[in-house]
């Protein structure tokens, strides 16, 4: 069965479409208007390359070697040497989805027509995507200016038949991977090497997939919180609309409305209408304020990414209308670096408040339930160490939330004297998302045990649907067992989207 088609034009790519390409759910083609722009910009580069005037990256060296003129006969070797010398990354390869996103984002910026790439080079990149040839790109080695040089150089290696690539999931020498896919490497012409390595596409590739995951986790945090609230017989009153209308932060209002939808139809709330408790702890009562602030932080990160993935981040930029090729600084990753630092901090707050709710569940002096929710506490430890694991993940997330965007280590003999550390911010945020998912899985697992004690009275429609799905995968803990298996099972329900789908169907 043929896959749906995605046209890219350099201007209108959506984050959701990047996720589709990362998952290999669509084929990618160049929009006709973009193809025309690419040809026009290439014609101007060819004109300049044929002349004698120095032009950065076309007939000069790079970085602090920009004043070194290169003979016309050496222009091909100049571009090849650029790719080879800049492929200095280390560490694990980017996961396949992130590497596919990286390749797509590079195609999209080239499609804008400001890079001077040849049509055949861009077409090779698109065919690699469609035929599942995915470059091996080490995670580390970028300081975020002149963009993500090392990761993009590893991506470009495959274009010239060097380096390594995955073909249909198998890691191979690049030339062999291309051959199996029915493709041939290219010989780079003037400026093409530079057009392939300048830009913020690596931090954006990791950042975009992180952003999509973070938005899911924001919904899951609300769900986990409602499960805990119902398990602890908490009040629904702090979520009434009037409270949030008078402090109108968008994320807070969105979260409160989401909590109300999830909790609608609760029978449990009717069981404690006249209880003596006046107020719930902040981790329950202030979910709209804390989760909402995280949502606002993620909204900021989304806006930055939506702009960046459709921006010209090459250097120099080729302006056809004015026939100018101009050096600038659009490759600097500071906007993305700051946004992804905010995303990491937002996620850390979701995990931190989740861990505090787990403490409310397992601490008998706070919950009114058996110690650590164990059926025979003392003989059984119950969920004692689940809370410890959550605390460990939160502690590490707090360390990872130290912002990369305020750091800078000058490079290239002082020419690149302020850098963004954007890829560092992306990798840190990605790890925080992984920890946050695990913290929320732990909370849901523990909250399900609390809801066991409240049955047969039903929770609100959202938490009740989550409880029932979890119980189909993970039975009630009657006596101690290996908790890591249960945490993994709930984590899989979150990652697969199965939990979200079940709750949406119920709500």
The residues that are catalytic are 56
- Please spell the DSSP secondary structure of 379-423, one letter per residue: TB-TTHHHHHHHHHHHHHHHHHTS-STT----BTTTTB-S---HH
Integer CA distances (angstroms), 69 to 42, 201, 412, in order: 21, 29, 18
Q: In the chain, how long is the greatest CA-to-CA distance?
A: 88
Give the pairing type, strands 5-8 and 317-319. Answer: unpaired
Q: What angle do CA 197, 203, 207 make, to 5 degrees?
A: 150
Instruction: Give the separation between CA 44 and CA 100, rounded to whole angstroms.
Output: 30
Packing angle between helix 201-231 and helix 422-452, nearest 10 degrees? 20
Pair 27, 102: CB distance under 8 Å: no
Element housing 64 (H / E):
none
User: How many Cβ atoms from other residues are within 10 Å of residue 3's Cβ?
Assistant: 12
Instruction: Give the separation between CA 295 and CA 303, rounded to whole angstroms.
Output: 12
**What residues contact 348, with CB distance under 8 A and at least 6 apart?**
394, 397, 398, 400, 401, 432, 436
Cα 227–chain centre separation = 26
Q: 152: closest CA among 108, 203, 189, 114?
A: 203
Three-state DSSP class for 160? coil
């Amino acid at each position: 069965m043929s896959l749906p088609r995605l046209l890219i034009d350099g201007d209108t790519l959506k984050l959701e479409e990047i996720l589709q390409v990362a998952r290999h759910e669509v084929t990618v083609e160049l929009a006709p208007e973009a193809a025309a722009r690419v040809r026009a910009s290439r014609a101007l580069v060819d004109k300049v390359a044929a002349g004698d005037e120095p032009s950065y990256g076309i007939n000069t060296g790079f970085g602090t070697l920009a004043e070194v003129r290169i003979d016309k006969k050496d222009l091909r070797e100049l571009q090849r040497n650029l790719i080879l010398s800049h492929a200095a990354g280390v560490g694990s390869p980017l996961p396949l989805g992130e590497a596919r996103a990286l390749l797509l984002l590079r195609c999209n910026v080239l499609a804008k027509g400001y890079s001077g790439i040849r049509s055949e080079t861009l077409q090779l990149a698109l065919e690699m995507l469609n035929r599942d040839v995915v470059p091996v790109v080490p995670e580390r080695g970028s300081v975020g200016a002149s963009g993500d040089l090392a990761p993009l150089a590893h991506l470009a290696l495959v274009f010239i038949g060097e380096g390594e690539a995955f073909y249909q999931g198998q890691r191979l020498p690049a030339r062999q991977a291309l051959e199996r896919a029915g493709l041939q490497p290219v010989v780079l012409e003037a400026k093409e090497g530079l057009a392939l390595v300048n830009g913020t596409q690596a931090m954006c590739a990791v950042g975009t997939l992180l952003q999509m995951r973070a938005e899911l986790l924001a919904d899951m945090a609300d769900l986990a919180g409602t499960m805990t609230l119902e398990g602890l017989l908490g009040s629904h009153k702090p979520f009434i609309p009037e409270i949030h209308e008078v402090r109108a932060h968008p994320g807070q209002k969105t979260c409160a409305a989401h909590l109300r939808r999830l909790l609608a139809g609760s029978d449990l709330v009717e069981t404690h209408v006249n209880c003596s408790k006046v107020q719930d702890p902040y981790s329950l009562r202030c979910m709209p304020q804390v989760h909402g602030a995280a949502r606002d932080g993620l909204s900021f990160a989304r806006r930055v990414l939506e702009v960046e993935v459709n921006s010209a981040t090459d250097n120099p930029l080729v302006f056809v209308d004015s026939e100018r090729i101009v050096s600038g600084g659009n490759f600097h990753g500071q906007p993305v670096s700051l946004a992804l630092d905010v995303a990491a901090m937002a996620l850390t707050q979701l995990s931190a408040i989740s861990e505090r709710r787990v403490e409310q569940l397992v601490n008998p002096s706070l919950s009114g339930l058996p110690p650590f929710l164990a059926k025979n506490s003392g003989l059984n430890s119950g969920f004692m160490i689940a809370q410890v694991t959550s605390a460990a993940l939160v502690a590490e997330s707090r360390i990872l939330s130290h912002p990369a965007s305020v750091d800078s280590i000058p490079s290239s003999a002082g020419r690149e004297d302020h850098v963004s550390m954007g890829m560092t911010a992306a990798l840190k945020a990605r790890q925080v998302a992984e920890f946050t998912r695990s913290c929320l899985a732990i909370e849901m697992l523990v909250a399900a045990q609390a809801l066991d004690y409240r049955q047969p009275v039903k929770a609100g429609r959202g938490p009740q649907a989550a409880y029932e799905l979890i119980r189909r995968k993970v039975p009630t803990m009657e006596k101690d067992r290996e908790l890591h298996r249960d945490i993994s099972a709930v984590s899989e329900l979150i990652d697969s989207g199965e939990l979200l789908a079940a709750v949406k169907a119920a709500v």
